[in-house]
Amino acid sequence: MNTPRKLAAGNWKMNGFRADLQEARNLASDFADPSVDIVLCPPATLVGAMAAALVGSGVRVGGQDCHVKPAGAHTGDISAAMLADAGARYVIVGHSERRADHGETSAIVAQKATAAQSAGLVAIICVGETEAERDAGKTLEVVIQQLVASLPETAQASNTVVAYEPVWAIGTGRTPTRDQIAQVHDSLRDHLPDGAISLLYGGSVKPSNAAEIFAIPNVDGALVGGASLKADDFSAIIAALAQA
Ligand code: 13P
């Protein structure tokens, strides 16, 4: 059986200007480990420039969202085909910030993932519970429901990555315990159609906790926010993943 690839993905969110492309170049020159796939997802304005800056480096570029359609009258939106055309290889879909800020349902996320796959991109599909849902004992129910409804039938390891990001752990410095992450990842793994789909953990991953998180079974990598903005920090996280 194929095993999942190790993957470190950086989500720059709404951060980054052309001057910050140097961080991406630094990361690329810092790190080249064939055992780890590395992706940086800058804001859409930088996708093309970053892809050009990283040609030949082994560090790939991703978008943070895409429209469900390949083209058309959708002012302000960007299609998966356009991201691919700009040099992206991945796109994040269903991040909790988009689910919350833009009312994206799992049904929409599944359409976006399908659009990504049709354009030849790998869809990084995000799921995660809020603090209230965890406190109510509903974590597994919520994340599995999100996964099943967000995952297109076409999902396989070559076109899909799944990221578990507890909403309450994003940007807060708080992380779930080892057992809490293990429980969710084991359950997600059981519901994936292809055992080689990479399963990422996201939420306050930093150099100081990366090794501990990567030692958890069924954690194949991380989706990193704040710590991906600095090449030194992201490199340290990638190094921990390479050694896991
Ligand atoms: P932080 O690593 O800043 O907590 O963000 C996680 C995240 O939302 C990545 O998509």
CATH of the domain at 25: 3.20.20.70
Q: Which of 23, 67, 95, 97 is catalytic?
A: 95
Per-residue pLDDT at 227: 97
For residue range 168-199, list pLDDT tens digits in order. 999 999 999 999 999 999 999 999 999 999 99
Question: What's the gap in Å between 76 CA and the centre of ligand 1?
Answer: 24
Per-residue pLDDT at 29: 79
Domain for residue 200, yes or no?
yes
For residue range 197-220, list pLDDT tens digits in order. 999 999 999 999 999 999 999 999
**202 CA closest ligand 1 atom index:** 6
DSSP string over the chain = -PPPPEEEEEE--S---GGGHHHHHHHHHH---TTEEEEEE--HHHHHHHHHHTTTSSEEEEES--BSSSSSS-TT--BHHHHHHTT--EEEES-HHHHHHS---HHHHHHHHHHHHHTTPEEEEEE---HHHHHTT-HHHHHHHHHHHHS-TT--TTTEEEEE--GGGTTTS----HHHHHHHHHHHHHT-S-TTSEEEEESS--HHHHHHHHTSTT--EEEESGGGSSHHHHHHHHHHHHH-
Give me the number of domains the chain comprises: 1
Question: What's the gap in Å between 198 CA and the centre of ligand 1?
Answer: 17
- Reported pTM: 0.97
| pLDDT grade for 75, boundaries at 50, 70 and 90 | very high
Domain for residue 1, yes or no?
no
Is pLDDT of 34 > 90?
no
Domain for residue 152, yes or no?
yes
Domain that holds residue 82: 6-243
Nearest CA to ligand 1 atom 9: 225
| pLDDT grade for 31, boundaries at 50, 70 and 90 | low
Domain for residue 129, yes or no?
yes
Question: Which residues does a 6 A CB cutoff place in the pocket of ligand 1?
Answer: 11, 95, 165, 170-171, 202-205, 223-227
